[in-house]
A and B are shown apart, each in its own frame.
Chain A
């Protein structure tokens, strides 16, 4: 049965690694739902958050293939309920229409959105939430002069702390073993 899985990958911060990571998916003809990269709380270590809609069997194999890459330190996968996650959508809406339909108040009060910027012709609205909530707002705005929108990938933190502790240990251990080495 297909479900959304969030894959978290901790890697070295090297050029080309994004390519190597995505080719693990490309090879198996898998479509990545979303992908986000950022630094991690461990200096020098990069963090990928990848959402994949697939079966548990496939995601298990993918995670092993990811870990097999030399510059990947750790890869784990989780179900939605094991993580806290958010996505952002930004909307560009016509100021005139928003005023006509009294949107601003409804947006802020009912939909938990924020106004980021108001220009002469348009305003930028931000909504942070789960995909369904953001999409819900998208549908709400469509009839009211929606000019443009953009969605971010998912960012997520893993609830069980164990795995991160292991990661810290892994990195420290390796750092010590690595001390006599200038290049990694």
Chain B
């Protein structure tokens, strides 16, 4: 009770506090109730202040700062809220960098708080001093060093505002130790404006009109949608738009789950290991409508042979995305939740049945040549695809799928049928191995009512497996599947296809993963046989606590379709 009174006070009343307590009070004022981190000398005052607020603000002690930041990313992606991370100076701060870069390229809202040596020691090579402001500059949306206690509330208010407005991203606030010890008249007012920063460009009605005209007269229009639809909370607006116009829509890796996989207009996934139809037909559409996506090179393949025949409409919140990779005829700037509403009003109701059939015809080919053999293999070895499909079926498509990076990631994203939004969490832009396990932990803690399934390769698992300790301690019921092919599979696939099978440093001699799980008090099981699959997956899903299932899969299986690097999307290979 008393605690609640203090919290209410923290938001409304002016009180004298330490800088460290001001950090905690600011987080509470931003309605943060969970953060991830790792203590150390330069952030100890804040950890000490946290001690008194444990009821209101839960801190998850991960086993590595990289684990903390990936957990915060998983939390942010599953909940749509800002993920908060705390670390000490020097190595604590530098251990965050991979996650910061990952959040930057995947537009994930994060506030990272790092401790820093006392301001009188700045620049002296003091113990655990590192210039984290300079190091993080190119991979943060904004960063700021606080050297006085009284700057803390406003700096954090600005950090939260910048992290989640416009195109979201990671923000870092570095707080010197003397600022944490210093005194401040604490008062918090959320930030609503930064004069040099325009998070949402104004909507241009002319652009909407031009886009509508192009769409209305298009014969073979094609929609590409990305994470922007999810970040803009525009899933409904997006669905209305494609349903009214009858335009087939394909998703980027990060756009997955913004539209149910089984929606009649959803024609699959784009990209290097995306579906056959969307890749092939990109080069046959007459109008390409890109929504909240950024034409990543893994989506476009060779740009000089990418949709050159098409007129391109690009809806994005970030003006610097326009014409960055693909020349655009009609840029539609703004939050797609708004622009899609306007656009839907301006377009004619239509259907493109014959054009849609073309996608379905390619689906048929992909089905026969790739999907059937993956899901109903003739050989004795389990394939990644059948494991994923089994999990998807038994979880009724309702689980949040968190993946690492590699073959298992592509297979998991290809073979999962998503029903609801924010159900696919993966490291897309940076392709960070080691992302999955901590991200799954963060996702589970953020959405305890949802099933969270982590699908990881044997390689990536060993990059952050220490977070089993955090899963154990927090009792987060994360379901972990290791798809073990005893190889760094994706690299091995490239070596097979493009380096004459010279398997240079990709084979792994692995430990007993089930025993490792056991050591952390996590139940585990390892299977090899098809006959065990359904029952083992059911056991995992039925288990109330965290569970680790290792599945041995074919060592040298490959992921197809594939657009080889440098090839055109329409040169997508099926084998």
User: What is the interface of chain A, defined by CB distance below 8 A to chain B?
Assistant: 11-12, 15-16, 19-20, 23, 26-27, 60-61, 64-65, 67-68, 70-73, 171, 174-175, 177-178, 180-184
Q: How far is the CA of A27 from the CA of B142 in the complex (A)?
A: 17
Contact A183 B151 (CB under 8 A): yes
Contact A67 B319 (CB under 8 A): yes
A68-B320, A183-B151, A183-B155 as given contacts; A11 in contact with B196, CB under 8 Å: yes
Sample of 8 A–B contacts (CB below 8 Å): A20-B137, A26-B138, A64-B322, A65-B320, A70-B196, A174-B193, A181-B193, A183-B157
Q: How far is the CA of A20 from the CA of B139 in the complex (A)?
A: 10
Number of interface residues of B (CB under 8 A): 28
Contact A16 B133 (CB under 8 A): yes
- Nearest first, the 5 A-B pairs at minimum CB distance are A174-B195, A183-B154, A64-B320, A70-B142, A73-B196
Contact A184 B194 (CB under 8 A): yes
Contact A71 B196 (CB under 8 A): yes
Contact A68 B193 (CB under 8 A): no
A16-B134, A174-B196 as given contacts; A181 in contact with B319, CB under 8 Å: no
User: Of A11, A16, A73, A180, which one neighbours B137 at CB under 8 angstroms?
Assistant: A16
User: Which chain B residues numbered 231 to 247 have a C-beta less than 8 Å away from chain A?
Assistant: none
Q: Which residues of B contact A180 (CB under 8 A)?
A: 189
User: What is the interface of chain B, defined by CB distance below 8 A to chain A?
Assistant: 133-134, 137-138, 141-143, 145, 151, 154-155, 157-158, 162, 189, 191-197, 318-320, 322-324
Smallest CB–CB gap between B295 and chain A, Å? 13
Q: Which residues of A contact B320 (CB under 8 A)?
A: 61, 64-65, 67-68
Contact A70 B194 (CB under 8 A): yes
A61-B324, A182-B154 as given contacts; A171 in contact with B319, CB under 8 Å: no
Contact A70 B197 (CB under 8 A): yes
Smallest CB–CB gap between B304 and chain A, Å? 14
Q: Which residue of B lies closest to A60 (CB)?
A: B323
Q: Which residues of B contact A178 (CB under 8 A)?
A: 193-195
Q: How far is the CA of A60 from the CA of B323 in the complex (A)?
A: 9
Contact B158 A183 (CB under 8 A): yes
User: Of A23, A73, A182, which one neighbours B138 at CB under 8 angstroms?
Assistant: A23
Q: Which residues of A contact B162 (CB under 8 A)?
A: 70
Q: Which residues of A contact B319 (CB under 8 A)?
A: 64, 67-68
Smallest CB–CB gap between B202 and chain A, Å? 12
Smallest CB–CB gap between A183 and chain B, Å? 3
Smallest CB–CB gap between B329 and chain A, Å? 16
Contact B196 A181 (CB under 8 A): no
Smallest CB–CB gap between A45 and chain B, Å? 9
Contact A181 B189 (CB under 8 A): yes
Q: How far is the CA of A136 from the CA of B148 in the complex (A)?
A: 52
Q: How far is the CA of A109 from the CA of B324 in the complex (A)?
A: 51
Q: How far is the CA of A65 from the CA of B194 in the complex (A)?
A: 18
Q: How far is the CA of A183 from the CA of B173 in the complex (A)?
A: 15
Q: Which residue of A lies closest to B141 (CB)?
A: A70
Smallest CB–CB gap between B340 and chain A, Å? 23
Contact B155 A19 (CB under 8 A): no
Q: Which residues of A contact B138 (CB under 8 A)?
A: 20, 23, 26-27
User: Of B137, B141, B194, B318, which one neighbours A19 at CB under 8 angstroms?
Assistant: B137
Smallest CB–CB gap between A5 and chain B, Å? 17
Q: How far is the CA of A177 from the CA of B322 in the complex (A)?
A: 28
Q: How far is the CA of A11 from the CA of B194 in the complex (A)?
A: 12
Q: Which residues of B contact A60 (CB under 8 A)?
A: 323
Q: How far is the CA of A181 from the CA of B193 in the complex (A)?
A: 8
Smallest CB–CB gap between A10 and chain B, Å? 9
Q: Which residues of B contact A27 (CB under 8 A)?
A: 138
Smallest CB–CB gap between A152 and chain B, Å? 26
Q: Which residues of A contact B189 (CB under 8 A)?
A: 180-181
Q: Which residue of B lies closest to A19 (CB)?
A: B137
Q: Which residues of B contact A68 (CB under 8 A)?
A: 318-320
Q: How far is the CA of A64 from the CA of B323 in the complex (A)?
A: 10
Q: Which residue of B lies closest to A15 (CB)?
A: B145
Q: How far is the CA of A94 from the CA of B133 in the complex (A)?
A: 46
Smallest CB–CB gap between B144 and chain A, Å? 8
Q: Which residues of A contact B145 (CB under 8 A)?
A: 15-16
Contact A61 B134 (CB under 8 A): no
Smallest CB–CB gap between B328 and chain A, Å? 12
Smallest CB–CB gap between A175 and chain B, Å? 6
Q: How far is the CA of A181 from the CA of B195 in the complex (A)?
A: 10
Contact A12 B137 (CB under 8 A): no
Q: Which residues of B contact A23 (CB under 8 A)?
A: 137-138
Q: How far is the CA of A26 from the CA of B137 in the complex (A)?
A: 12
- Which of A23, A26, A178, A184 has the most B CB atoms < 10 Å from its CB? A184
Besides the known contacts A11-B196, A23-B138, A61-B320, 13 further A-B residue pairs in the complex with CB atoms under 8 A apart: A16-B134, A20-B137, A20-B138, A64-B324, A67-B319, A67-B320, A68-B318, A70-B194, A72-B196, A181-B154, A181-B189, A183-B158, A184-B195
Smallest CB–CB gap between A67 and chain B, Å? 7
Q: Which residue of B lies closest to A66 (CB)?
A: B320
Q: Which residue of B lies closest to A12 (CB)?
A: B196
Q: How far is the CA of A177 from the CA of B191 in the complex (A)?
A: 11
Q: How far is the CA of A16 from the CA of B134 in the complex (A)?
A: 8
Contact B154 A177 (CB under 8 A): no
Q: Which residues of A contact B142 (CB under 8 A)?
A: 70-71
Contact B196 A19 (CB under 8 A): no
User: Of B155, B191, B197, B322, which one neighbours A181 at CB under 8 angstroms?
Assistant: B191
Q: Which residues of B contact A182 (CB under 8 A)?
A: 154
Q: How far is the CA of A19 from the CA of B196 in the complex (A)?
A: 17
Contact B195 A175 (CB under 8 A): yes
Q: Which residue of A lies closest to B158 (CB)?
A: A183
Q: Which residue of A lies closest to B171 (CB)?
A: A70
Smallest CB–CB gap between B116 and chain A, Å? 14
Contact A61 B193 (CB under 8 A): no
Q: How far is the CA of A16 from the CA of B135 in the complex (A)?
A: 11
Contact A171 B154 (CB under 8 A): no
Q: How far is the CA of A155 from the CA of B194 in the complex (A)?
A: 28
Q: Which residue of A lies closest to B151 (CB)?
A: A183
Q: How far is the CA of A182 from the CA of B188 in the complex (A)?
A: 11
Smallest CB–CB gap between A116 and chain B, Å? 35
Q: Which residues of B contact A19 (CB under 8 A)?
A: 134, 137
- Which of B137, B319, B320, B324 has the most A CB atoms < 10 Å from its CB? B320
Q: How far is the CA of A68 from the CA of B323 in the complex (A)?
A: 15
- Which of B141, B151, B196 has the most A CB atoms < 10 Å from its CB? B196
Smallest CB–CB gap between B333 and chain A, Å? 11
Smallest CB–CB gap between B264 and chain A, Å? 37
Q: Which residues of A contact B195 (CB under 8 A)?
A: 12, 73, 171, 174-175, 177-178, 184
Smallest CB–CB gap between B138 and chain A, Å? 5
